[in-house]
Chain A
Amino acid sequence: MTAIFEHFNFVVVIVLMMTGLFVVFATQNMIKKLVGLSVFQTSVFLLYISLSKVSGGQPPIIDKKDLHGASYPADGGYDAAPDSAYQAAEVLYSNPLPHVLILTAIVVGVATLAIGLALVVRVREVYGTIEDDEINKIDYNENLEGVAR
């Protein structure tokens, strides 16, 4: 039980990830497939964001008064014994990089979703349905005869 709460972020990520994947594979409705895909992608965003949290770290915004004497830890990272220059700063920041990465990934996700929805609109216009199995059934006959409309 404690293991679940110690790694609560991972539990959330895994639940969301599996839900999303399951929805993509289980449903035949194209819109629902896209919903599942979005949930799946969002779980990855959460994974990255929760990585960037450093225990006791504050938001990575540099205050002018912290600047004096602050320097990057030279070798070990946050766990290693801090050297004197680092001690002088006495500020621990959360890692800002994953946020930046995920901003990019969110944009990618939005673009994918937009293209997907646009495709669904076109599919609805042409096939008259957005159920994947019905479309496959229609396509199957065409694939056999090899002639499309």
Chain B
Amino acid sequence: MQVMSLFPEWILSHGAASIVVVPLLLAVITALNPSAKLAWATVLGVTALCVFTALGLLLQVMSYGPIHYNMGGWAPPLGIGYYIDGLNAPLLLLISVVAFLCTLYALPSVIAEVEPKKRGPFYAAFLISLAGLLGMVTTADAFNVFVFLEVSSISTYVLVAMGASRDRRALSSSFNYLIMGSIGATFFVIGIGFLYMQTGTLNMMDMARLLQEIGPGDRVVQLAFAFIVIGLGLKLAMFPLHMWLPGAYAYAPSFFTAFLAATATKAALYLLLRFTFTVFDPSWDYIATAVMILLAGMGIAGMVAASLQAIFQNDIRRVLAYSSVAQVGYMLLGIGMATTLGLTAGYLHMINHAIMKGALFIAVGAFWYRFGITQVSDMRGLGKTMPWTMAGFTIAGISLIGVPGTVGFVSKLILVEAAAENGWWWAIGVIVATSILAIIYVGRMIEKAYFKPVPQINDRPVLRNEAPLAMLIPLWVLALASLVFGIQTEWLTSMAEAAAQVLSAGPNTDIPGGAYILPKVTGGH
């Protein structure tokens, strides 16, 4: 392919490792950096490099098939393997692009929200969080997943708590998130332990192969599945396990909220997909039941309950946070159908939701930056005082509702098609009903901004005060993306279809260099 020659040799041969290692190593340098500007420039450079690398990897996967990378030259299953295919390559690009745009936005936002001496370490923690997310998505080693999960989570707790200079509730929210997140990660690692007990390997493909030999009847494997689903469910904010999310999103520094909302739950959702569909066998009875009843059921419950809660929130960011839980519900509903079309819808909604929620949180951060607005009731007249920011917010907002011509519509339409194909007519009813709820909670904000008069201070209306360009550019890139991909639907849809193909192909036992049989672990006596 002609375009491949644009990428240097090292991206084609070592891209899988460098996309994780470069942010991780440069985080150390950033932490020691005394100048916040220089730290910001480093982060911008690193994230730009990540975007470039992820693009190279995606094109490489699309033209030559999955990439196997042996960390340190040690072949899996003994060594740690990195594996990139149609399922995680788009997600790598998504996380990198969002990180890059959020970094652009960070320059004014961090100056407003973080104390000067903490800015260097703040950027370093962001890089570590980014490296953790990219690592979670890239690695094919189950224990390595846990390590990266914790790397990204621990830096996330720190970054959420940094919002304390703006609102002290950031501290208690961060603590709640720490407790829930650690329990989730520990549940996940218990599940991995049980799988290791039965298979004696940590490589996902090797695990899939050995699980095929063990078969569906094994009690310990069933237990492992339960622990992994609950652990990841906590991380991805599956409905009854979402209690950490509204606080964490609402009180984190606004730059980090945008990044967190657009990427963190997506990486956990990817892991759930990877484990459920390609490590375990989705055709096994208990897995098929769990996917249909637990994932789809909790998805539906989350869509309804969280949308209702979103309507009654006063804080803009809490509205959007509850809406995030509801949107995770749409993704889980699509995945719960377990058909290729349903998986396509779930995966596409994952990408689309990142685009629109990123834009919405960036706009909300800009409202705070200019006017200190956090409440829905304070949004009066924003259509006149911040017209460009509010226009971007509105585009992303109507995309969240699912108005035709936006990305939100595309994924909801495919979700409805998938539900119809399955004969789940009631699900279509729920999708329409929750979209109406979305009209209420988004419409409430748009109505305040455009149809309420500009507030008066000392008998004079507030003057127009547009957000700085560093905030408008990332906002409008994401807002335009949600329009462009809503009209030119093929590009994203074909990527989601490729991902769904990977998932519906069943367990992935593709180990480079053939299977190497490890001695079985006999534990405990």
A residues with CB within 8 A of B: 6-7, 9-10, 21, 24, 30, 33, 37, 40-41, 44, 47-48, 50-55, 72-79, 95, 98, 101, 104-105, 108, 111-112, 115-116, 119-120, 122-123, 126-127, 132, 135-136, 139, 142-144, 146, 148-149
B157 at the interface (CB under 8 A from A): yes
Q: Which of B146, B318, B522 interacts with A79 by CB under 8 Å?
A: B522
Residues of A within 8 A of B178 (CB): 112, 115-116, 119
Contact A119 B522 (CB under 8 A): no
| Cα distance, A120 to B161, chains bound together (Å) | 11
Question: What are 28 of the A-B contact pairs (CB < 8 Å)?
Answer: A24-B179, A24-B183, A37-B183, A40-B186, A44-B186, A48-B196, A50-B523, A51-B196, A53-B523, A53-B525, A54-B522, A73-B519, A77-B200, A78-B520, A101-B143, A108-B147, A108-B150, A108-B154, A111-B150, A111-B154, A116-B179, A122-B164, A127-B168, A127-B172, A139-B172, A142-B169, A143-B169, A148-B169
Closest to B181 in A: A112
Q: Mark B297-323, 1 if CB is under 8 A from A, else 0.
A: 000000000000000001100100000
Tell me how far the C-beta of B167 lies from the nearest C-beta in chain A, rounded to whole angstroms: 5
Residues of A within 8 A of B158 (CB): 115
Task: Give 9 new A-B contacts, CB below 8 A, not counting A115-B157, A115-B158.
Answer: A53-B524, A72-B519, A76-B520, A98-B196, A104-B147, A119-B171, A123-B172, A127-B172, A143-B169
Q: Which 4 A-B pairs have the closest CB atoms?
A: A51-B523, A77-B520, A77-B519, A146-B314
Q: Mark B169-207, 1 if CB is under 8 A from A, else 0.
A: 101101100110011011001100100110010000000
Closest to A115 in B: B157
Q: Which of A21, A30, A52 interacts with B521 by CB under 8 Å?
A: A52
B375 at the interface (CB under 8 A from A): yes
| Cα distance, A54 to B521, chains bound together (Å) | 7
Residues of B within 8 A of A48 (CB): 193, 196
Tell me how far the C-beta of B212 lies from the nearest C-beta in chain A, rounded to whole angstroms: 17
Give residues of chain B (393-437) contacting chain A, Cβ–Cβ below 8 Å. none
Residues of B within 8 A of A72 (CB): 519
Contact A44 B189 (CB under 8 A): yes
Contact B171 A123 (CB under 8 A): yes
Tell me how far the C-beta of B162 lies from the nearest C-beta in chain A, rounded to whole angstroms: 11
Q: Which of B193, B314, B517, B521 interacts with A75 by CB under 8 Å?
A: B517
B33 at the interface (CB under 8 A from A): no
Residues of B within 8 A of A132 (CB): 172
Residues of A within 8 A of B146 (CB): 105, 108
Contact B179 A47 (CB under 8 A): no
Residues of B within 8 A of A10 (CB): 524
| Cα distance, A37 to B167, chains bound together (Å) | 26
Q: Which of B147, B179, B182, B523 interacts with A52 by CB under 8 Å?
A: B523
Closest to A142 in B: B169
Known: A37-B183, A51-B523. Contact between A139 and B147, CB under 8 A? no
Tell me how far the C-beta of A119 lies from the nearest C-beta in chain B, rounded to whole angstroms: 5
Give residues of chain B (134-177) contacting chain A, Cβ–Cβ below 8 Å. 143, 146-147, 150, 154, 157-158, 161, 164, 167-169, 171-172, 174-175
Known: A77-B519, A120-B175. Contact between A51 and B154, CB under 8 A? no
Known: A24-B179, A24-B183, A119-B178. Contact between A51 and B524, CB under 8 A? yes
| Cα distance, A111 to B157, chains bound together (Å) | 11
| Cα distance, A5 to B154, chains bound together (Å) | 38
Q: Which of A44, A74, A135 interacts with B190 by CB under 8 Å?
A: A44
B374 at the interface (CB under 8 A from A): yes
Tell me how far the C-beta of B231 lies from the nearest C-beta in chain A, rounded to whole angstroms: 11
Contact A135 B154 (CB under 8 A): no
Residues of B within 8 A of A24 (CB): 179, 183
Contact B147 A30 (CB under 8 A): no
Contact A78 B524 (CB under 8 A): no
Tell me how far the C-beta of A34 lies from the nearest C-beta in chain B, rounded to whole angstroms: 8
Tell me how far the C-beta of B40 lies from the nearest C-beta in chain A, rounded to whole angstroms: 24
| Cα distance, A108 to B182, chains bound together (Å) | 10
| Cα distance, A21 to B496, chains bound together (Å) | 38
| Cα distance, A72 to B22, chains bound together (Å) | 36
Contact B179 A33 (CB under 8 A): yes
Give residues of chain B (475-525) contacting chain A, Cβ–Cβ below 8 Å. 517-525
| Cα distance, A119 to B370, chains bound together (Å) | 29
Q: Which of A41, A51, A53 interacts with B186 by CB under 8 Å?
A: A41
Contact A95 B521 (CB under 8 A): yes
Residues of A within 8 A of B167 (CB): 148
Closest to A40 in B: B186
Closest to B174 in A: A119
Contact A139 B169 (CB under 8 A): yes
Closest to B196 in A: A51
Closest to B161 in A: A119
| Cα distance, A10 to B146, chains bound together (Å) | 22
Residues of B within 8 A of A51 (CB): 193, 196-197, 521, 523-524
Tell me how far the C-beta of B71 lies from the nearest C-beta in chain A, rounded to whole angstroms: 14
Tell me how far the C-beta of A27 lies from the nearest C-beta in chain B, rounded to whole angstroms: 11
Tell me how far the C-beta of B195 lies from the nearest C-beta in chain A, rounded to whole angstroms: 11
Contact B182 A37 (CB under 8 A): yes
Contact A119 B517 (CB under 8 A): no
Closest to A119 in B: B175
Closest to A37 in B: B182
Residues of B within 8 A of A127 (CB): 168, 171-172
Give residues of chain B (443-491) contacting chain A, Cβ–Cβ below 8 Å. none
Contact A55 B522 (CB under 8 A): yes
Tell me how far the C-beta of A4 lies from the nearest C-beta in chain B, rounded to whole angstroms: 13
Tell me how far the C-beta of B141 lies from the nearest C-beta in chain A, rounded to whole angstroms: 10
Closest to B190 in A: A44
Closest to A48 in B: B193
Contact B147 A9 (CB under 8 A): no
Residues of B within 8 A of A76 (CB): 520
Residues of A within 8 A of B525 (CB): 6-7, 53, 55
Q: Mark B200-221, 1 if CB is under 8 A from A, else 0.
A: 1000000000000000000000
Tell me how far the C-beta of A73 lies from the nearest C-beta in chain B, rounded to whole angstroms: 6
